[in-house]
A and B are shown apart, each in its own frame.
Chain A
Amino acid sequence: MRIEKSLFSVGKSMRYSNRNLINRQYVIIGIFAVVGLVYLFKLFSLQVLDEDLKKSADNNVLRYVTQYPARGKVFDRNGKLLVYNEAVYDLMVVPGQVSKSIDTAEFCRLLNITQDSYVERFTKAKDYSRIKASVFVSQISKEDYAHIGEILYRYPGFYFQIRTIRHYPQAIAAHTLGDIGPIDKKQLDADPYYKRDDYVGQSGIEKFYEKELRGKKGLKVVMVDVHNREKGSYLNGALDSLPVPGKDIYLGLDAELQAYGEQLMNGKIGSIVAIEPKTGQILAFVTSPTYDPNLLVGRVRGKNYLDLLNDPSTPLLNRAISGTYPPGSTFKMVNGMIALQSGSIVPATQFHCNGPSSSPIKCTHHHGSSPDLANAIENSCNPYFYEAFKTTINNPKFGGIKKGFDYWCQMTYKLGLGHTFDTDIPYERPGNIPTVEYYDRMYRGSWNSVTIRSLGIGQGEILVTPLQLANIAVVVANEGYYYPPHLIRAFGDSTAIPERMTTRMETGIEARHCKVIKAGMQSVFEGSHGTARGSKIPGITAGGKTGTAQNPHGDNHSIFIAFAPVEDPKIALSIIIENGGYGSTWAAPIASLMMEKYIRGYTERPNVEERMMKGTINYSIKKKK
């Protein structure tokens, strides 16, 4: 009360006593103390109660820099480099740190983007987060990086992050190697490892071996000053982690053979699949038309991808696994093996052939009237294999055609048809082997061997992929078994490849039966009537089988399956040339060249080679017929 009184005692009328004035010190001390208390209260609320300010300080000073590991390199079976990494730089932006007063015109000119594009990119980044970094311009080349880096300090909120893009020195096997691209929403949600703007394998082995190739990202927490300059690591690097490089991968692919195959397929649509029979490793995986894998890399990726997608010849389609074709006469191997294994025929069994007037299936070849099995393969006799197929499914030991056909279906399945191999090749298609149920539905339960006669010569509902077809050649070459065809040969760090790819698959066809088929296939090259006798490789024994597959979309597909050398097969393959006519026209010569090239390292038949490489099939005209 005393204090209050002294404060209010104003006016001249009143005489001041010293006592009154001395008491005024308490008013002044009171003011000092109250201000001190108010300030302490405010400081308490700022420093103790407010948690946001602490985060703001961290956001100011801490920068979480992802340390991208080097993605694993890819080599061919001989150690030739197929895929490696090139450094590029992503320009990152933290929208909340970008000053409003920067010279955007100058900045845009440096980055070679328009003002509108700048605003659009900035808005997008801001919508994502004001305080988290996002990519502003991705994959800037080393040269531009050096140039822009010099003046970047003028643009707070922007910084560079190094990362790598793929480079393909050989420019081959685009579909096999696959590509990496920006992660999509689904992939992002599926795996917490990934962050927005990451690149992941989208196809080929890049997709299948994503986890092995990507390695493990590291993290560096650095402190930056107000000018966005790095000031050293945070907590002495206690939160940092080093990136772990991805594993290198050695493929079974032979780069030279692959390149050779791609050259041979120039101007043709189709595919070549070559497999090492003893391991199941794919030696060549050609699909035509193809493209340069370097097109789907870097800043040009988006545009090139659209171009390829809109190309009417569908270069993005990997026909070796996604193309399904009627196998035609190459399927006679399958029917022959099943007929022998079921005991329905013996190698010496003869069926009568009336040539073009045969019924219910005509023969398109001219040969002796009653061939045995080896003869029938050499001549590709249609009636023989129809009869063999009929005899098999009608074999009394099964007790009815449906049970017989079911046996046939199971055997084709064991030979690798009608299903995918599920190894390391994404987007593989299963093809089609019709079932008992299918025909029951189709013909309301009333069907017989004549109804499904086309199956005897590889037509009708049967559809196979070139990969499956090549595997049939493998089975014959191996005399009864195969390893699921796969691309990988080994990891760079020698860790085991998936067990599925090294598991020997038995087909249930005995070796002695396969030997008969093998001999028949050898005479396709070497017999006097052999359908591929024109493609015989001088000095190398080989077995093969032509196919001329009718299809509803145009001219017959030219098909060939083969293996060589006969004594110790090192390569087995399938060739499909869409609308190429007879198997012997295109497929057989190309197959012989591939085998010669792989076994010898060169070919001794330059004229054949030149004819095949230069030969083109005019699809636009042929398809109109």
Chain B
Amino acid sequence: MTDRNSIIGKLDWPILLMYFALVIIGWMSIYSAGMSEGHHAIYDMSQFCGKQMMWMGISMGLGFVILILDAKVFDAFAFLIYAVVMFMLVVVLVYGKATNGATSWIDFGGFKLQPSEFAKLGTALAVASLLGKQDADLQQRKTRLKTYALILVPAALVLLQHDAGSALVFASFIFVLYREGMPGAGAIMLLAAGVVTIFVLTLVWSVKVMCIVLGVLFALTLLFYLLNKKKGLWRMVAVYAFFFGMVFSVDYAFYDILEDHQRTRFEILLKLKDDPKGDGYNLHQSKIAIGSGGVWGKGFLKGTQTKYDFVPEQHTDFIFCTIGEEGGFKGSLVVILLYVGLLIRIIKVAERQRLKFSRIYGYAIAGIIFVHVAVNIGMTIGLVPVVGIPLPFLSYGGSSLLAFTVMLAIFVKQDANRLNILS
């Protein structure tokens, strides 16, 4: 058992310090973004910043509780937690409240929770627990299918809430599966990259041009294979056939599978459509806010784009605009370095775990945080279509902050406990 008095020394302070830094930056940014309604104290409970402070207290309190709990609890109760979260996801589908087109809230008498935020945590625990068993072998089809199910069920439930952004986050489990050696994981990552590339290029260039480009590439690869007498020629041909099929189905996918608003977001992003007043407004104003920050930024509380409501959702999904505008490139650099630093630190800490459960869990949350950060910041600077998911630790929102804090706290607890494990 862990000696409670010495737990402080066993905690991974780099992770915790980066966590605190991000939460404080988020809190201040939410305060600044809320200035449009006049000056308030940063702890004013009627304001977003005040509520965020309350959620910071709750999150850190719960985080502390987690740190003093027995580390084994999480592995033991992983599936129970998973089940509770799945139940909540079903409940939200039936009773949930709609916000911005997505039905994702449960109202506990004025106390609103967003189960999809906790679904990621539950899934990470469940996957870690499943694959963390000594006899778990991803080479076995049965294990793989179980893993797929654990990931795809919550993803599907979230998608049913019309929350495509949160559903997309479940794709992040590809990182942990890749690390754990699941056959085909690397190929899926490559294939996914290929699919995205072809999708984007086909929209930008047209089908005809893409056929020519792919044709030339295919001819070159074929030549290379024949000259070097490489094996796997058929697989290569199959991949190209798949790509060609993609090219021809992009139009169909684009116009018939995507919903109108999703299609528009792609069009705006790829500059196929220019509508800074209408559908492109969010991205346009967001880029203006970040771009107007310059190198050093306009200074704390001095951002005009965010303070005067030009940027929509400025305290939640577009919180990065406040950082970019008021902190400038300097601020953006600090935040990006904090995130990349945190992610690398999590990977490094995960690798030093003796328990498979802890390592897998670490990779899972690193993947989740990474996808959140990449999609959220990417959307504010026009690299990713507008998808409504929060920026971890920074965006306003109790569920999000609580879920990410708990996620991180469990990992830090596992790490603090690692020396107690006999390998």
Contact = CB atoms under 8 A, between A and B. Distances in A.
A9 B179 contact: no
Of residues A32, A39, A56, which shows the largest number of chain B Cβ atoms within 10 Å of its Cβ? A32
Interface in A219-243: 223-227, 231
A227 B295 CA distance: 28
A184 interface: no
B179 A25 contact: yes
B251 interface: no
A27 B347 CA distance: 11
A25 B305 contact: no
Interface in B264-280: 277-278
B370 interface: yes
B369 to A, nearest CB: 10
Interface residues of B, number: 56
Nearest to A61: B304
Interface in A30-54: 31-33, 35-36, 38-40, 42-44, 46-48, 50, 52-54
A33 to B, nearest CB: 6
Contacts, number: 139
A48 B329 contact: yes
Interface in B282-313: 285, 287-295, 304-305, 307-310
A496 interface: no
Contact of B288 (A33, A43, A53): A53
Contacts of B178: 24, 27-28
Interface residues of A, number: 47
A38 B139 CA distance: 35
A24 B347 CA distance: 11
B181 A39 contact: no
B381 interface: yes
Interface string A139-163: 0000000000000000000000000
A170 B363 CA distance: 88
A39 B336 contact: yes
Name A's interface SS: helix
Nearest to B378: A39
A57 B292 contact: yes
Nearest to B37: A225
A224 B290 contact: no
B187 A10 contact: yes
A190 to B, nearest CB: 36
Contacts of A6: 186
Contacts of A226: 308-310
B170 to A, nearest CB: 17
A60 B307 CA distance: 12
Contact of A47 (B186, B291, B344, B363): B291
A29 B292 contact: no
Of residues A31, A57, A100, A224, which shows the largest number of chain B Cβ atoms within 10 Å of its Cβ? A57
B166 interface: no
Nearest to A32: B343
6 contacts: A11-B183, A25-B347, A43-B381, A47-B332, A54-B294, A223-B308
Which 3 A/B pairs are nearest by Cβ-Cβ distance? A53-B291, A57-B292, A225-B308
Interface of B: 36, 139, 175, 178-181, 183-184, 186-187, 189-190, 277-278, 285, 287-295, 304-305, 307-310, 324-325, 328-329, 332-333, 336-337, 339-340, 343-344, 347-348, 350-351, 363, 366, 370, 374, 377-378, 381-383
Given A7-B186, A27-B178, 19 more contacts: A6-B186, A20-B181, A24-B178, A25-B351, A28-B179, A32-B366, A36-B339, A39-B374, A40-B332, A46-B291, A47-B290, A53-B287, A53-B290, A54-B291, A54-B294, A60-B308, A100-B277, A225-B309, A225-B310
